Structures are given as structure tokens and as C-alpha cells.
């Protein structure tokens, strides 16, 4: 190589390494406004709130649409929404604080603090540790036992939850598979209470909300309802939006560790900044809620999941940490979580490598899922420097297709019901009291010539039963808000043709996994 060629290569090399790294500046508030307004036009959603933090600052926080289609009051950055499972990261942060204070260890067995805690076999019970409560690797199935919580209004409490794990059947070996769980987070909330001497609600308020000055965040709906700026939950069927009753739990019975927080994007921006600053907060970040060591523990994969190999993001890994989903997007770690209640949906995304946080809150189910996905994904793409992609159109198309497919399945079931010959059905063969080991008694009874279903401990699970086929009925719940939750009731008959047990399963392909009817095994205990 001659000197000229050598100099040319050297110059090119220097130009390459000295070229300023292109920094994709913050997405402007005007861009986010236009994005959300387009999303509101594409999805049937009452209200939305969005916050973005970047490089240690809140660069956008704003509300859009209505808190309620009845009041027409507008959403702003201080409007509270139920953040549902985004509450889980607050629970893990609370435990991290207690670990750092030397009051417990992540690997301590749960029975050290809750001796009456049960599991499906003695080995799992004795070895089930604090982190196992948080990582969805118990061996139990998806949403196991959630019927004690969903729908709200049941009389189940923490004592029932602690006792009932012994009745659940595992679906995988302990610590080998991810299956999302809510009840174990409630147990984690009970650990916080027993170790700190404060109920979960009080601990979160005093040890997290107060230091961070999250002055308008609350650990229960009842507390949030005492203040005016609160979004109401809505449902949508196609483009039609309707109000529904909010889900609410009595903290005296079941703590909110799995999903009880109500917050707003202004306060959640502070929460995201804390996370991105490795637990530091306040002027010049001189105060610390938890250490970077705890941050790394919460952001370490404890349960491996299958990575989404979408070539757009070139992702290689995925898993669950302590209250967070973890993956990589274009070489950057992404830390995220979603939350869902009837009429309330939320999503948080943190990209520590970019010092970026995004939170989207909505008050409409189901289209809110399209909004929080499309809006957060579009903003993220801008900061990753990716080409424009129409996430709104994609999610709108996919949501309409999945809901349309589900409606077709459900409609065919009801067509079968309408065509069924009920003249030969002897309803007395099915009437009676049935009992499930963990869910308690269920009454099947006759009223005005029709069969009815009534869960004795969960009043909202009550409805008329319609004959479907063979020994199977469909129960249609009378309570509002139980969207897509109607279920098959499949009776087992004895040699005389009389029902002695039944199984259940949801009829809709999009039924929420928390309606875990399939985990019930009621058997007849007495005549009606």
C-alpha cells in the first residue's frame, strides 16, 4: 500500500471514529400530541395520559380525552388511573428497602415470616423464598386462584389465599416455567406487613410516595375517590363506549400489592426517574430510596422467557425480573410492565441505556390496549432511531381482527343455545349445592323454570344458565363489566343421570386469564 492510500485509509478511519454520534433528540410535545390524537381517532377510548422522561428530566406530561363520558371532564397530567399490575414494581421496591435494612433476605423462605403459608407439596412450601413470590415461576398455572379476587366483591381474604395454595395443582416443575401470578404478590404484601409492622398500603405511602413527593398517588381506589381528579373506567364494544363500575378491594381483606395503586403521569414520571437513576432522587440526586445493587437485582432475569425475535428490534433475550419484564431492543435493555383492570389499562417502558422512560395510562377496555401499545411503541421507535412504522394502524387492525374472531366464536355458541331442544332437560338433575376445595360453595338452582348459578362467596358470579349440548350449559353473568367472561358449565353425571360434579371454562377466546374457571373442581355436597 502506497503512502497516499495509507493516508486516505487513516483519514477515513479518523473521520469515522471522530464523527459525532447521532443523538435522537426528544420527541416534541407537538409530535406526541398528534400521535395521541390520531390514536384517539383510531381506537374507542375515553381518555389517555402520557409522560416521557429523558436524561433526568420530564420532557412531556399531558392528558387527553375525557375522565368520564358522563361528566365530560378532561384528563390532565394529574388525573388518577388504576395502574393495576404496574403496582408490582412498587411491591418489589418495598421489599428491596427491607432487604437493605437487613430485615429480610431475598432468599429467605416465606414460611420464616408466614408460617401458615401453604403450597402443593412440602418441598415447595419449605423452599419457596421471597423472590419466588415475585417471579411467576411457582409451577402453578396462569392466573391460578384469581377468582378469589376477580371479579371484586368476594369475601375472600389473605387467610384464604395463604391456605388455598395447597389445593392448586401444578402445571410445571417448580422454578422451571413462567406462568403469570397475582396471588403470590399479595403474599409478598403480607410479608411486608409482618416484617415492617405496617400494612402494604401504609408502607408504600410512607416509604415510597412521600419521599418521591408522589403527592397524588394512592394505594386503594377508596383513597383515590376522596379526591376529584379521578378517571372512570369504561368498556368499548366496537366504537361504542360505556361506563362501567370500577374494581375495588377492601385492604382489610386483600392488600393491593398485586395491582392496587391509583396514580397519574406526573407522579409516575418521578417514579420512572427514580428507576433510571438507580434508586436516587431529590436535588442533585443526593437521596437514595434503594441502592444500585438492589436495582440490578430487580432488573436481573430470574425467570427466562422466549424472546420476541422481531427483526425490527433484533431482540435476543427476554425474561422476568422482580416486578419487571426484561428484554433487549436494538442493543438496549428494555424494562417494562403493563397493567389491566376492568376499564383501566397502563404501560410503562424504561430504556436505561437511553435514560428514557415512557408511561401511558388509559381508562377504556379493550381498545386502551391498542392505544398504550401504539403510542408507547411509536415514541420508543423515535428514540431508537428507527424508521417510521404505523403502529396505530397495525394494532387497530389486529385488535379488530382478534375481537371479530372472538365474537364469531361466541356468536356460534349462542346460536347453538338458541337452537337447542330443552324439552327433555330435567333441571332437577343438575340443581344442588356443589363445593370446590378453594372456591367454596356454588349453588345451582331453579328459578321461574330456569337454572341459575350462584357462587356463594363471590356475589358477582351469578347468572342464568342456558342449555348448550349434552350435559353442558352456558352461564351468562348478570353483573356489569364481566366482559367476555361467560362460561361453559360441563356436568358430570352418575349412573342415574344425576349431576355429581362439574367443570367450567370460558367461552370466549379473549377471556381474561384471571377468570380461571378451569381450575375449579366443584362436587355435589347436598341437594338444592
For residues 117 and 200, state if they share a domain. yes
**pLDDT of res. 528:** 65
Q: Report the alpha-carbon angle 474-480-486, nearest 5.
A: 20
The pTM (predicted TM-score) of the whole model is 0.94
Helix axes 367-384, 29-42, angle to 10 degrees: 150
For residues 366 and 489, state if they share a domain. no
Mind listing the pLDDT tens digit for each residue in 341-399?
999 999 999 999 999 999 999 999 999 999 999 999 999 999 999 999 999 999 999 99
For residues 458 and 508, state if they share a domain. yes
Paired strand residues for 462: 454
Q: For residue 308, is it within any domain?
A: yes
H or E, element range at 372 = helix 367-384
Average pLDDT over residues 265-287: 97
Longest C-alpha distance within the chain, in Å?
101
d(CA 252, CA 323): 23
d(CA 473, CA 487): 8
For residues 80 and 160, state if they share a domain. yes
**pLDDT of res. 466:** 98
**Confidence class of residue 15 from pLDDT cuts 50, 70 and 90?**
very low
When the pLDDT of each residue in the chain is averaged and rounded to a whole number, the result is: 94
For residues 237 and 385, state if they share a domain. yes
For residues 372 and 270, state if they share a domain. yes
For residues 380 and 438, state if they share a domain. no
Q: For residue 321, is it within any domain?
A: yes
Q: For residue 203, is it within any domain?
A: yes
- Terminal Cα-to-Cα distance of the chain (whole angstroms): 97
Considering the chain, what percentage of its residues have pLDDT values greater than 70?
95
d(CA 1, CA 8): 11
Pick from 416, 369, 320, 375: nearest CA to 510: 369
For residues 173 and 251, state if they share a domain. yes
C-alpha cell at 340: 389491566
**pLDDT of res. 491:** 98
For the chain, the helix, strand and coil percentages under 3-state DSSP, each to the nearest 5 = 35, 25, 40
For residues 508 and 364, state if they share a domain. no
For 157, counting Cβ atoms within 10 Å of its Cβ (0-12 exposed, 13-18 middle, 19+ buried), the class is middle
67: CATH = 3.40.710.10
Q: For residue 407, is it within any domain?
A: no
**pLDDT of res. 483:** 81
For residues 347 and 450, state if they share a domain. no
Domain membership of residue 126 as a residue range: 46-389
Q: For residue 233, is it within any domain?
A: yes
Please, are residues 129 and 164 in contact by the beta-carbon 8 Å criterion?
A: no
Q: For residue 248, is it within any domain?
A: yes
CA distances from 405 to 96, 112, 301, 343, 392 (A): 44, 48, 35, 21, 20
What pairing do the DSSP bridges indicate for beta strands 234-237 and 364-365? Answer: parallel
Mind listing the pLDDT tens digit for each residue in 398-456?
999 999 999 999 999 999 999 999 988 999 999 999 999 999 999 999 999 999 999 99
Pick from 187, 123, 192: nearest CA to 161: 187
Mind listing the pLDDT tens digit for each residue in 302-346?
999 999 888 899 999 999 999 999 999 999 999 999 999 999 999
From start to end of 2-130, where are the E strands? Answer: 47-54, 57-65, 81-82
**pLDDT of res. 14:** 34
- Of 366, 389, 412, which residue is a domain's last? 389
442: CATH = 2.40.128.50
For residues 441 and 378, state if they share a domain. no
Mind listing the pLDDT tens digit for each residue in 74-124?
999 999 999 999 999 999 999 999 999 999 999 999 999 999 999 999 999
- Of 330, 362, 389, which residue is a domain's last? 389
Q: For residue 385, is it within any domain?
A: yes
Report CA 27 to chain centroid distance, whole Å: 27
- Of 389, 410, 441, which residue is a domain's last? 389
Paired strand residues for 361: 49, 346
For residues 460 and 369, state if they share a domain. no
Q: For residue 149, is it within any domain?
A: yes
Mind listing the pLDDT tens digit for each residue in 174-230?
999 999 999 999 999 999 999 999 999 999 999 999 999 999 999 999 999 988 899
Q: How many domains does the chain have?
A: 2
d(CA 438, CA 156): 10
Residue 17: pLDDT over 70: no
> Got the DSSP string for 231-252?
PPPEEEETTEEEE-PPP---TT
Mind listing the pLDDT tens digit for each residue in 477-498?
999 889 899 999 999 999 999 9
Amino acid at each position: 500500500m502506497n503512502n497516499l492510500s495509507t493516508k486516505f485509509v487513516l483519514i477515513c478511519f479518523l473521520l469515522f471514529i471522530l464523527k459525532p454520534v447521532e443523538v435522537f433528540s426528544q420527541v416534541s410535545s407537538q409530535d406526541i400530541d398528534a400521535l395521541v390524537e390520531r390514536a384517539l381517532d383510531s381506537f374507542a377510548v375515553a381518555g389517555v395520559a402520557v409522560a416521557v422522561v429523558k436524561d433526568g428530566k420530564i420532557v412531556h406530561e399531558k392528558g387527553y380525552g375525557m375522565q368520564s363520558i358522563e361528566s365530560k371532564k378532561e384528563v390532565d397530567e394529574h388525573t388518577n388511573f388504576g395502574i393495576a399490575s404496574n403496582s408490582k414494581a412498587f411491591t418489589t421496591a418495598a421489599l428491596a428497602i427491607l432487604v437493605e435494612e437487613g430485615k429480610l433476605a431475598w432468599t429467605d423462605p416465606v414460611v420464616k415470616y408466614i408460617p401458615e403459608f401453604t403450597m402443593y407439596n412440602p418441598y415447595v412450601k419449605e423452599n419457596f423464598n421471597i423472590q419466588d413470590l415475585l417471579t411467576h415461576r411457582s409451577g402453578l398455572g396462569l392466573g391460578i386462584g384469581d377468582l378469589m379476587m376477580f371479579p371484586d366483591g368476594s369475601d375472600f381474604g389473605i387467610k384464604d389465599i395463604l391456605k388455598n395454595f395447597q389445593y392448586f395443582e401444578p402445571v410445571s416443575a417448580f422454578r422451571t416455567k413462567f406462568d403469570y401470578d397475582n396471588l403470590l404478590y399479595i403474599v409478598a404484601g403480607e410479608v411486608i406487613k409482618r416484617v415492617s409492622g405496617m400494612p402494604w398500603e401504609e408502607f408504600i405511602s410512607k416509604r415510597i410516595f412521600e419521599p418521591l413527593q408522589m403527592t397524588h398517588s394512592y394505594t386503594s381506589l377508596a383513597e383515590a375517590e376522596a379526591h376529584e381528579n379521578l378517571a372512570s373506567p369504561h368498556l368499548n364494544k366496537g366504537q361504542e363506549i360505556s361506563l362501567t363500575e370500577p374494581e375495588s378491594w377492601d385492604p382489610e381483606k386483600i392488600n393491593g400489592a398485586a395491582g392496587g395503586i391509583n396514580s397519574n403521569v406526573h407522579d409516575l414520571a418521578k417514579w420512572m426517574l427514580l428507576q433510571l437513576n438507580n434508586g436516587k432522587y431529590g436535588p442533585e440526586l443526593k437521596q437514595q430510596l434503594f441502592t444500585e445493587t438492589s436495582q440490578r437485582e430487580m432488573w436481573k432475569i430470574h425467570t427466562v422467557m422466549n424472546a420476541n425475535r422481531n427483526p425490527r428490534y433484533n431482540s435476543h433475550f427476554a425474561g422476568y425480573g422482580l416486578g419487571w419484564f426484561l428484554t433487549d431492543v436494538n442493543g438496549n435493555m428494555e424494562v417494562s410492565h403493563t397493567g389491566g383492570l376492568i376499564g383501566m389499562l397502563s404501560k410503562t417502558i424504561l430504556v436505561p441505556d437511553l435514560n428514557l422512560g415512557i408511561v401511558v395510562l388509559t381508562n377504556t377496555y379493550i381498545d386502551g390496549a391498542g392505544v398504550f401499545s401504539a403510542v408507547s411503541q411509536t415514541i420508543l421507535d423515535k428514540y431508537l432511531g428507527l424508521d417510521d412504522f404505523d403502529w396505530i394502524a397495525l394494532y387497530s387492525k389486529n385488535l379488530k381482527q382478534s375481537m371479530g374472531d372472538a365474537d364469531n366464536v361466541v356468536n356460534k355458541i349462542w346460536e347453538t343455545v338458541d337452537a337447542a331442544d330443552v324439552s327433555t332437560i330435567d333441571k332437577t338433575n343438575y340443581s344442588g349445592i356443589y363445593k370446590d376445595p378453594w372456591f367454596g360453595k356454588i349453588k345451582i338452582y331453579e328459578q321461574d323454570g330456569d337454572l341459575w348459578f350462584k357462587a356463594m362467596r363471590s356475589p358477582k358470579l351469578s347468572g342464568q344458565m342456558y342449555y348448550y349440548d349434552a350435559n353442558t350449559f352456558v352461564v351468562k353473568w348478570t353483573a356489569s363489566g364481566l366482559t367476555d367472561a361467560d362460561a361453559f358449565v360441563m356436568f358430570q353425571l352418575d349412573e342415574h343421570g344425576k349431576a355429581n360434579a362439574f367443570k367450567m371454562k370460558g367461552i370466549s377466546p379473549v377471556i381474561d386469564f384471571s377468570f380461571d374457571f378451569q381450575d375449579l373442581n366443584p362436587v355435589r355436597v347436598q341437594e338444592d
